[in-house]
């Protein structure tokens, strides 16, 4: 179990929590009301700051129900919270529905936070790379 310090910045809002045992993502809640018109984006505060340990990153991902039912996603999905960041966690939501606005109420679950280990790497410049089965085949190379 990883111990992650969290600071509540809005006592009226629930802190991130898992909805079910075994879930990978902590639900993030809006700490303000907002309305997103079709194709509009907005930065929504979540009312907390977090100290993600060094060697880990916080990845903010869309909620599948909001995406499938309402076309709500995250502009920079996944958003990344680096271990050195101590400011308020915010989510940049976008309404991808062409016809309907989406109303966000304080306390609504708007995204999820997944904390994952992120090893530091050393890049080793080279003129050649080792062979791999995929090679240089990119976008669409595995078919539809």
78-114 pLDDT per residue, tens: 999 999 999 999 999 999 999 999 999 999 999 999 9
Cβ–Cβ < 8 Å for 40, 94: yes
Q: How many angstroms separate the CA atoms of 23 and 64, rounded?
A: 13
- What is the spatial distance between Cα 57 and Cα 54, in angstroms, rounded to a whole number? 8
Q: What's the pLDDT tens digit per position in 59-85?
A: 999 999 999 999 999 999 999 999 999
| Residue 55, number of CB atoms within 10 A of its CB | 10
Tell me what pLDDT residue 133 has.
Answer: 85
């Amino acid at each position: 179990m990883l111990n992650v310090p969290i600071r509540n910045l809005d006592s009226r809002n629930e802190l991130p929590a898992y909805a079910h045992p075994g879930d990978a993502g902590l639900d993030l809640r809006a700490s303000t009301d907002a309305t997103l018109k079709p194709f509009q984006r907005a930065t929504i505060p979540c009312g907390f700051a977090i100290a993600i340990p060094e060697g880990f990153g916080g990845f903010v991902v869309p909620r599948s129900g909001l995406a499938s039912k309402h076309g709500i996603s995250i502009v920079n999905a996944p958003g990344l919270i680096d271990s050195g960041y101590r400011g308020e966690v915010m989510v940049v939501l976008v309404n991808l529905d062409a016809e309907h606005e989406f109303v966000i109420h304080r306390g609504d679950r708007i995204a999820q936070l997944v904390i994952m280990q992120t090893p530091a790497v050393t890049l080793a410049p080279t003129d050649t790379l080792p062979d791999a089965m995929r090679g240089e085949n990119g976008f669409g190379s595995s078919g539809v």
